Amino acid sequence: MTDTILDVQDLRKYFPVKKGFFRRHVGDVKAVDGVSFTVDRGETLGLVGESGCGKTTTGRSVLRAIEPTSGSIRFFENGKDPVDVTQLTKAGMRHLRQKMQMIFQDPYASLNPRMTVEEIVKEPLFCFGVGTARERRERVGELLQVVGLDPKYMSRYPHTFSGGQRQRIGIARALALHPDLIVADEAVSALDVSVQAQVLNLILELQNQFHLTYIFIAHDIGVVDHICDRVAVMYIGKMVEVAGTKSLFRSPKHPYTEALLSAVPRPNPHYELKRMVLEGEVVDPAHRPSGCAFHPRCRYADGLCAAETPAMETVPQEDSRGSHAVACHHFKELQLKGVFR
């Protein structure tokens, strides 16, 4: 039996567009437009897509770091009835914030340069009144050890650390209150490739050690390969494909996923590398194309694609249990290229 920790239904986040002297409401940027998904306890769900597809807005809406326009976000705290995050009062949100934390993209910008590492990591403990001053200091030492940093450097400032070390400090801060769910927003994007691997390994180790659940947001689909159990691909505010990582990489069913996968470097030199270059920019979410939003850039598009929005259909995964969901009129006829894993 699966144990769901998060159930998001029909989540929308619209940003109003206002114009003129009287700031008339003339439209909406539909950053997230009817997204539904669930996350099981202990699972890592990857959210991928180009910049502007709505993945970060989805992650922030789940934590209510920004207010969703509509939809439900049910969080199942261990052994308790679910709470709808969108309906919680300030006091309710305060309790929940201990259970849901975030790792930020930019380790240079997300740490206050005027605070020491000790102050940064113990800030959540202080805000929630956890422990005495001495206990908090001891907890900071423990957390730094857990993320692979020497506690003797806790009195240093962030600028004395490398990018990878700073991200470890950010991870220590996220772990301080024993969260159940962590939204990692482009957690390794700003790091060098070799450091990326170390931080990804740390994220995996911590998941095993503390039974964490992750929503892992990345624009680079190659990064989610080793860390995610399932991957959801987003395009202009909607999910277009959701499947187990292996199934999605081996046999993608949406042309957008195929194009993203074609950019993943392959370790096999005999494998023919043919990158599909997507023509044009990601469409402005304020002016979504008719029908399938991907049709202006899709090599398989026809008249039906421009006229009708494809519904999400679910089929069994080919090589493992679970389901593979895709929103494409022609997924049954297309033979798309994946990445052999």
The least distance separating ligand SF4 from the CB of residue 313, rounded to whole angstroms, comes to: 11
Q: For 324, list phi and psi in degrees, rounded to 5.
A: -125, 115
The least distance separating ligand SF4 from the CB of residue 54, rounded to whole angstroms, comes to: 17
- Size, binding site for ligand SF4 by CB under 6 A: 13
The least distance separating ligand SF4 from the CB of residue 252, rounded to whole angstroms, comes to: 11
Considering beta carbons, is residue 33 or 185 the nearer one to ligand SF4? 33
Q: How far apart are CA 147 and CA 203, in angstroms?
A: 9
Query: How distant, in Å, are the alpha carbons of 168, 269, 279, 306, 337 from that of 104?
Result: 11, 35, 30, 37, 33
Burial class (CB in 10 A: 0-12, 13-18, 19+), 279: exposed
Q: How far apart are CA 200 and CA 100, in angstroms?
A: 19
Query: How distant, in Å, are the alpha carbons of 31, 257, 296, 307 from that of 28?
Result: 9, 27, 21, 22
Stretch that binds ligand SF4, among 4-12, 223-231, 274-282, 323-331 (CB under 6 A): 323-331
Considering beta carbons, is residue 60 or 253 the nearer one to ligand SF4? 253
Q: How far apart are CA 230 and CA 242, in angstroms?
A: 7
The least distance separating ligand SF4 from the CB of residue 309, rounded to whole angstroms, comes to: 9
Contacts of 113 (CB under 8 A, 6+ apart): 157, 158, 159
Considering beta carbons, is residue 30 or 329 the nearer one to ligand SF4? 329
Cα diameter, the chain: 68
Q: Contacts with ligand SF4 in 283-312 (CB under 6 A)?
A: 292, 294-295, 298, 300-301, 305, 310
The least distance separating ligand SF4 from the CB of residue 337, rounded to whole angstroms, comes to: 15
Contacting residue, 55, 246, 324, 329, with ligand SF4 by CB under 6 A: 329
Contact characters 200-239, ligand SF4, x per CB under 6 A: ----------------------------------------
The least distance separating ligand SF4 from the CB of residue 203, rounded to whole angstroms, comes to: 32
Helix axes 163-175, 133-146, angle to 10 degrees: 130
Q: Contacts with ligand SF4 in 95-114 (CB under 6 A)?
A: none
Token readout for 66 is: 């920004």
Stretch that binds ligand SF4, among 33-41, 59-67, 264-272, 326-334 (CB under 6 A): 326-334
The least distance separating ligand SF4 from the CB of residue 250, rounded to whole angstroms, comes to: 19
Q: How far apart are CA 192 and CA 107, in angstroms?
A: 12
Considering beta carbons, is residue 75 or 294 the nearer one to ligand SF4? 294
For residue 78, give the 3-state DSSP assignment. coil
Q: Enumerate binding residues for ligand SF4 (CB under 6 A).
A: 254-255, 292, 294-295, 298, 300-301, 305, 310, 328-330
